[in-house]
Amino acid sequence: MSNSSEKKRYFEAAPTDIDVDNFRKVLTSRRSVRKFTEKTIPADVLDACLDLALLAPNSSNLQPWTFYVVQDPTKKQQLVKACLGQLAAKTAAELIVCVARTDRIDDMAKRNLNEFPLPQLPQAVKQYYTFIPYNYKTGIFNSLGHVRKLAFGVARKFDKQLPVSAFNTSDAKLWATKTTALACENFVLALRAYGFDSCMMEGFDEPLVGKILGLNTAQYPIMVIAAGERAADGVFFPQYRFDRDLFIQKV
């Protein structure tokens, strides 16, 4: 018999009817497409793919990203220039700039408190989102980062296990970038599942992209994704990977 005083837990059953073969087909057919046809991506399909991108796993549900769908003709031409005139950018039906953000951690923490999806906000959740923003803040002249680094150093001398933290602005940027990259992967796989393709471009003029979009110094464009229908000659070379033993270690 269950204990009546036991706390109620939330349960969510995992679906068991996922088609692994089709999932594998999505992954293996995703390629970096360098040339697209003139076919447009229907607005509802693009929105669905963006919604799936936003479901990516992310640290503390702080969702430190913004996806800029650049559709203004003038800005789009400027963005093609910022992407060094790459053919993928020139021929894409859509250009999406993926931006990692460290400028609204407080706001996202408050949203987690205000929009938590259970009727009663657990005390542990309230405490967590009250303090978690300080893990990624570095403060004026990196003051908070220095204090936290000293405190962590002392704690580790006593064999205390501590989480990844931001000791400086580069650490905070890396944290947001890792999370945003996961959402980028979701987005391009969603495009493939809907029959469209993509090219994830890191070769671009970052300051120019920031200027085009009016980004502040805590908003980092990490990737420009070209998207559209794959042209018949849109994939330039066969895909290959090095021996898996170079990358997978069982310890």
pLDDT tens, position by position, 171-186: 999 999 999 999 999 9
Q: Does 23 score more than 50 pLDDT?
A: yes
Task: Tell me the sheet residues that pair with 225.
Answer: 96, 200
Helix extents (H) in the chain: 20-29, 43-53, 73-82, 87-91, 105-114, 123-131, 143-157, 169-193, 206-213
pLDDT at 165: 84
So what CATH class is 30-230?
Answer: alpha beta
Domain coordinates of the chain in residue numbers?
A: 30-230
pLDDT at 5: 52
Q: Does 86 score more than 70 pLDDT?
A: yes
3-state secondary structure (DSSP) of residue 197: strand
pLDDT at 6: 61
Distance from C-alpha of 149 to C-alpha of 188, rounded to nearest angstrom: 37
With bands split at pLDDT 50, 70 and 90, how would you rate the model's confidence at 1? Answer: very low
Residue with more model confidence, 238 or 136:
238
Write down the pTM of the prediction.
0.90
Q: Does 148 score more than 50 pLDDT?
A: yes
With bands split at pLDDT 50, 70 and 90, how would you rate the model's confidence at 109? Answer: very high
Percent residues over pLDDT 90 in the chain: 79
pLDDT at 50: 98
In this prediction, residues 93-113 reach a mean pLDDT of 96
What does pLDDT average to over the chain?
A: 93
With bands split at pLDDT 50, 70 and 90, how would you rate the model's confidence at 3? Answer: low
Percent residues over pLDDT 70 in the chain: 97
* Residue 156 buriedness (CB in 10 A; 0-12 / 13-18 / 19+): exposed
Scan for tokens 């989102």, then name that residue. Answer: 129
* Nearest C-alpha neighbor of 33 from the set 250, 237, 246: 237
Q: Are 86 and 208 in contact (CB under 8 A)?
A: no
Q: Which residues lie below 8 Å from residue 91, measured CB to CB, with a gap of 6+?
A: 35, 36, 37, 226, 228, 231
In this prediction, residues 15-30 reach a mean pLDDT of 96
Q: Does 153 score more than 50 pLDDT?
A: yes
With bands split at pLDDT 50, 70 and 90, how would you rate the model's confidence at 135? Answer: confident
pLDDT at 137: 82
Q: Does 139 score more than 90 pLDDT?
A: no
Q: Does 189 score more than 90 pLDDT?
A: yes
* Nearest C-alpha neighbor of 237 from the set 98, 34, 50, 69: 34
* Nearest C-alpha neighbor of 95 from the set 41, 52, 28, 176: 41
